[in-house]
Structure 1
Amino acid sequence: MVAESNAPDVSIRAVARRHGQSASQLVTWRRLARGAPLAPRPAPAREPTHGGA
């Protein structure tokens, strides 16, 4: 699918739909195939700490 979607004048959405996948999933696979890092996930929210013991 990645190679197919790299052809000129080919719609990523159409290729993904033809194979039963979402366009966003195919975009992620294309990004991984070219070695680009995925966006980092944000750090989980920390519980506020209250001072004193």
Structure 2
Amino acid sequence: MRHGWEGVVLKLFRAKDFTFTVTGAEHVTERYRRVHFTDGNLRAVPRPQLVEQVKAGA
């Protein structure tokens, strides 16, 4: 996946791509829908690295 110039900046910060996959959904109320998804291994990233990626706009 290409990100243009933003991708270059993220690559410089060694940011990683994470793919979220929707695994299910359910209607809770008429105006609220609960979506279930996998996090693409996002929670396995060490905390300091994750904070740097968020600051970089990942």
What TM-score, normalized by structure 2, do the two folds share? 0.26
- Between structure 1 and structure 2, the one with the greater Rg is 1
Task: Identify, as 1 or 2, the structure richer in helix.
Answer: 1
Asked which structure has the greater RCO (Cα within 8 Å, sep 6+), the reply is 2
What TM-score, normalized by structure 1, do the two folds share? 0.28
